[in-house]
Structure 1
Amino acid sequence: MIRYYEFLSNGITSALIKNGSVEWLPLPKFDSSSIFTRILDEERGGYFSIRPADEKYDIIHEDYVENTLILRTVFKSEKGKAEILDFLPLSLSGIIRIYESEIDLKVDIKPFFEYGLVTPAIIKARRGLIFRNPKSKEGIEILIGGEYVPLDNTEFTLKKGKGYIYLLYSKDLRYGLFSNKGFVYSEPYEALNKAIKYWKGRLENAKKVNIYRDAYYRSLLVLLGLIYEPSGGIIAAPTTSLPEIIGGSRNWDYRYVWIRDASYSAEALIKAGLLVKARDIISFLTAMVDPSSKSFDHPLYTIDGTAPPAEEILDWLEGHKKSFPVRVGNAAYMQIQMDVEGAYMNALYEYYNTSKDSKYVNEIWWAIEAIAEWTKKSWKWKSTDLWEQRGVEEHFTHTKVMNWVALDRASKLAKELGYKNEAEEWISTAEEIRKDVLDNGYSEKLGYFTRYYGSDSVDSALLTLPLYDFIDAKDPRFLKTHEKIEKDLMISDGFLLRYKDDFMGSAKHPFTLVSTWLTRVYIRLGEIGKAKKVIEKLINCSTSSLLLAEHLDQNTCEPRGNFPQAFPHAGLVMTIVELEERLV
């Protein structure tokens, strides 16, 4: 395990912290421009650092307080120790940093607006600082609770003892922390206690497991921390442009609600028994359904449920480890992805299967009907696939299977709710799709399922066929496919590429979600030893705080791509629950 960034969230926004330095903090929301952007540019990104004033010190602890998203960092120098508790206060756009120290601490705070582009005006306040955006009324205020000595406009020394630094964003500083309204905002120590109680409470109703408990609960906290509480939408990751390949250009903005990723996350929460939050996600997705055309007009939406902004390049930032370009927005919203309706329908079906909440499902029958009718009409079309290759449309096997999933689950729900005619009609089309996949997605000549009709290659998405009960894991056709995937795409035991290459060239690093698919296949095959081996390797290759990125470097275990990523954490939750059930 390696030390990397730590993830904080309050269901409004998020922060990434490393070695006492806040290096990513979008304000006021997950998808806003960042105030601290050092993760994407060492020189001009901006950061908020607290560290011992002594030049020589060690970090002897950097981890979460129990099962929460509150971070505890402990420094040690020759003169003593210092402890910092970092958290994002509930319902507020800001961060509170509480310290207790035997030594003086050096604070360096350099915020910039609009991803490092705009230098703030600095105003000194009686107990802190105000950084105002010269282009608007917005700003951030720094309230210092404790004895301190200013060094210059953005640096000061905290004298040993106890205290806090309270950073709060205001869209209009006339109503901020130092305004007449300031008394309504959280008191730091009370806010800390409330945050600890809140995060620990979120896991109280989770299904208990006896295996891999730390990874299980941390993964659940990541998923819960990626939910935008005002809407119920869950973002794919809290970051943008962390590169899949260092020095490469596979750098994307993931701070949006993907139908597929969100559905998969809802499934994980359902398996873990957290039905209320799963239903919040499903309700957000249901609100996006268009009953008169393609059910989901876009494969992704903003956290508020609108279409994402156009993709653009922030050419003033050099990128993480000089991996240019830095992008905000995501052009994938223009793609027509035909598999997403199946992902949603499977999550809804799993919710009903677990909760038997027929009243809720009846209330959104219109969405089920819309998706089924759209899928009936469109399943024969080409489309992009779940890997979102740009400018590439084919009859992807996985996509066709998800068309089958959409109608199969819709038919099952219709039968449960008493819609007999619809149930029969939809299962009839589902069987037509199934036959088409077996005739065209499976090659008799090659002996395995292919990535798309007429292809001779495979992709790791084919591992999901038995996970959705399209085919039995022990069916000879799937076994040959499984064997081909491991032969062509496994680059280290348990770590697989999602595919060999795409429109941007060769894939380099394993896709972490795929390891959880592989493990779930092993469980279905009864190969429990292999399943455990992959889970343990994935956990051992996560960060020291059990966080996973979209990819990882198979040689060093360093995270690659946006971080932390919902996909692998959702996959890990499902894997652990399924293995636990198998072992009982």
Structure 2
Amino acid sequence: MPYKPIESYGVIGDMHSIALVGMDGSIDWCCLPHFDSPSIFAAILDSEKGGHFQIVATHEASFKQMYLPDTNVLLTRFLGADGVGEVCDFMPVHRDQSGNYKHGMHQIVRIVRAVRGKVHFRLTCRPAMDFARRPHKVILEAEGAIFDSDGVDVALLSPVPLELDEEGGVTAEFVVEEGQSVTFALRQAEDWTTSDGLLSQPIDGEEARSRTTQFWRSWISKSHYKGRWREMVNRSALVLKLLTFEPTGAIVAAATTSLPEELGGVRNWDYRYVWIRDAAFTLYAFLRLGFTDEAKQFMEWLRVRVSEQDGSSGPLQLMYGVDGRHDLPEVDLDHLDGYRGSRPVRVGNHARTQLQLDIYGELIDSVYIYDRHGTPISYDFWCDLRRMVDWVIDNWERPDEGVWEVRNGQRQFVYSKVQCWVALDRALRIADNRSFPLDRQRVLAARDRIYETIMEQGWDKERNTFVQVFGENALDASNLVMPLMRFIAPSDPRMQGTLDRTLEQLVSDSLVYRYELDKGDGVGDGLSGKEGTFSICTFWLVEALARAGRHSQARFIFEKMLTYANHLGLYSEQIGHSGEALGNFPQALTHLGLVSAAFYLNRVIGTEE
């Protein structure tokens, strides 16, 4: 199987895990039962050994994909002169009759239909357990097949006879008459004691599809956004919901690991975890869209993290597992070739041990917004935040690895200092709004000291711009966030200068690179190779321009950025030189950036028309 472009995939999920479905009907990525569990299909990381589950029409056909409107139910179509076939893919949502979350089986349901003519299909299902590290045996039954890997079972419920193949999988050739359909279900149970019943429970595919469709349409109907880019905003909201781990409310950064930032390069990271930064920004998006239940659940998850004992890098770790676990050891999977030869393939993330001071600003700002627009926080939560504020005051002058997680040593990153200022500023606002006790004079003095330091050491008079690191002259797109965080007025000459330098040095055809890779004493980020433009930075530029009154320029860049979404409205982390998707997919940070930019741009343009 050749590698497909990253942008050729659609995604389905049940808010526990996500599967990537190619336009050829092949599921090339899925981890079960959770986002950060070992994979069962990983052909996207090794086309030979990774494992896949394909259902495809055998006649010559063109491929199309679409979502059923306002859902995460995916339709893959095979259009040919000999017939038209479809595969409808989805993962049923785990809810009881009262609408509450329940444990149970995780299923990928695939309804195969012949729309026109008699359509011949071929099925190939070849799991590769635990990133192809764990062998399994195949047990054929009348109802389907069980893939048994030392007690960890995955079952394929099949209405057609299956045959063993030589690669540890099963195959089938079958025909569907016009207007008819058959349903397949790939299953894994959260509770391994129930695995024996994986094939014994029949499924009504149409009922499951109807119920899943109703769930997604009911959820998205609560969105408050009614602006001109409603379809793209709704799709982004649906992606963010897919990336939310329902049992805890945690929000993962992306669904995949090790999709490269440069083809053949080493910038391949595992994003299947909860970054405090990304999740806090996602909270903004949910609150703006009116999804207060999601914000409330994540805030509860966050409250538990804030109450934990300080670690080696401070009160917070920058990322966690979906269940809140701290230990995420980074391991190279040398037996996998990587996407198009991009190695190493990594699981786990060593960056969890880094010091990244910016997370405190993003976290406390999200609490501030939630306290104002969601539910007032408790006094006990405030006490934990106040302890964190004291830590920021004592540690803001330390160098760190920064927002981009550099691996060549700690430095005095301007963005980190800005977010330290945000942490103290928002703590003061919360205390004043709620009359909470706080040593206001100490916090106020530290906040102002940080501000003056940034203005003195983070500003380059010659280039007329804020820079990436104190005392250096390299640009960094993260400084576009300054007016968004109310650190500086968007019309301030320093911010205007920063916008102009960013447009001159970091922008290529409206797309924004995150920093000048080869500038500065630190020589980039300590890694070899290049990377694509960083999509969240483009949306930051849009919002910064809009806030600065440069509305036409902002709208042009925004509209152009929309053309870089894939055929389903999905974005990966980065965009390559030929417009191809790079990095992990789909990425929460990019989609929340779209939501934020669309909200603000729609508001200011609306006042002009």
> Normalization by structure 2: what TM-score?
0.90
Q: CA deviation at 1:105?
A: 1.1
Q: Quick one: structure 1 residues 258 and 418, their matched pair in 2 at CA, closer, same or farther if it must change by over 3 Å?
A: same
2:134 alignment partner, SS class:
coil
> Which AA in structure 2 matches 1:227?
T
Q: Match of 1:240, as an amino acid?
A: T
- In structure 2, runs of 5+ residues without a counterpart are 95-104, 518-523
Q: CA deviation at 1:188?
A: 3.1
Query: Which sits farther off after the overlay, 490-499 or 236-245?
Result: 490-499
Deviation string, structure 1 residues 402-459 (Cα, Å, up to 9, x no partner): 0000000010000011136434442332112111211211234543222111111111
Equivalent of residue 602 in structure 2, options 572, 580, 584: 580
**What code does the residue aligned with 1:544 have?**
H
Does 2:480 match 1:463?
A: yes
**Distance in 1 of aligned mates of 2:92 and 2:233:** 24
Give, in whole Å, the separation in 1 of the partners of 2:585 and 2:290. 25
Which residue is equivalent to 2:520? none
Residue 344 of structure 2: aligned partner: 325
Which of 369, 377, 386 does residue 394 from structure 2 map onto?
Answer: 377
Match for 2:552: what amino acid?
G
**RMSD between superposed Cα atoms in Å:** 2.0
Question: Is 337-346 or 371-380 further displaced after alignment?
Answer: 371-380
Does 31-40 or 435-444 show the bigger shift? 435-444
Q: Please tell me whether residue 535 in structure 1 is matched to residue 558 in structure 2.
A: yes
Question: How far is 1:74 from its partner?
Answer: 1.4
Query: 1:497·1:508 contact (CA, 8 Å) conserved in 2?
Result: no
Deviation digits for residues 75-96 of structure 1, max 9, x if unmatched?
A: 1333321121101121332201
Which amino acid in 1 is paired with 2:330? E
For residues 106-133 of structure 1, give each alpha carbon's deviation from its aligned partner in whole angstroms, at most 9, with x where no partner exists. 1011111111223320111112111110
- 1:510 aligned residue: 533
The separation in 1 between residues aligned to 2:255 and 2:513, in whole angstroms, is 24
Query: Which one of 58, 61, 64 corresponds to residue 57 of structure 1?
Result: 61
For 1:102-501, list aligned pairs within 5 A: 102-133=118-149, 136-145=150-159, 147-148=160-161, 150=163, 152=165, 154-160=170-176, 161-170=180-189, 175-176=194-195, 178=197, 182-183=200-201, 187-290=204-307, 293=310, 296-355=315-374, 357-358=375-376, 360-419=377-436, 421-500=438-517, 501=524
Do residues 69 (structure 1) and 72 (structure 2) align?
Answer: yes
Within 2, Cα distance between the matches of 1:424 and 1:352? 22
Say if 1:266 and 1:498 are closer, same or farther in 2 by CA, change over 3 A: farther
Q: Check whether the contact 1:311–1:328 (CA below 8 A) recurs between aligned residues.
A: yes
CA distance in 1, matches of 2:528, 2:484: 29
For 1:21, the equivalent position in structure 2 comes to 26
**CA distance in 1 between partners of 2:327 and 2:582 (Å):** 24
TM-score normalised to the size of structure 1?
A: 0.94
Cα offset, 1:203, TM superposition:
1.3
The secondary structure found in structure 2 opposite 1:38 is coil
Distance 1:416 1:29, change over 3 A: same
Residue 499 (structure 1) shift: 3.4
SS at match of 2:92: coil
1:217 & 1:402 partners in 2: Cα distance?
Answer: 29
Structure 1 gaps, min length 5: none
- Aligned-residue sequence identity (percent) comes to 29
Contact between 2:157 and 2:186, CA under 8 Å: does it hold in 1?
Answer: yes
Q: How many residues align?
A: 574
One-letter identity of the residue aligned with 1:6: G
Map of 1:9 onto structure 2: 13
Alpha-carbon separation, structure 2, partners of 1:220 and 1:117: 35
Q: Is the 8 A contact 1:290 1:297 kept in 2?
A: no
- The residue matched to 2:352 in structure 1 has which SS? helix
Superposed CA offset, 1:484-528 (max 9, x none): 222221122243343323211454310000001000011111111
Quickly say closer, same or farther: Cα 1:245–1:179, change in 2 above 3 A.
closer
**Secondary structure of the corresponding residue to residue 430 of structure 1:** helix
2:97: which partner in 1?
none
The 1:298–1:172 alpha-carbon spacing in structure 2 relative to 1, beyond 3 Å, is: closer
Taking the aligned partners of 1:150 and 1:434, their CA distance within structure 2 comes to 68
Contact 2:463 2:501 survives alignment (8 Å): no
**Alignment-mate amino acid for residue 17 of structure 2:** T
Question: Which of 79, 84, 89 is the matching residue for 1:86?
Answer: 89
Paired residue type of 2:590: P
Amino acid at match of 1:38: A
Structure 1 residues 554 and 228: CA distance shift in structure 2, 3 A: same
One-letter amino acid matched to 2:382 = W
CA distance in 2, matches of 1:473, 1:329: 39
Structure 1 stretch displaced more, 479-488 or 123-132: 479-488
**SS of corresponding position for 1:35:** strand
Larger deviation, residues 238-247 vs 122-131? 122-131
Q: Which deviations, in whole Å up to 9, do the C-alpha atoms of 1:238-283 show, x marking residues without a partner? A: 0000000001111000000000011111111112221221222222
Contact 2:253 2:589 in 1 (8 A): yes
Question: Do the aligned partners of 1:148 and 1:159 also contact (CA within 8 Å) in 2?
Answer: no
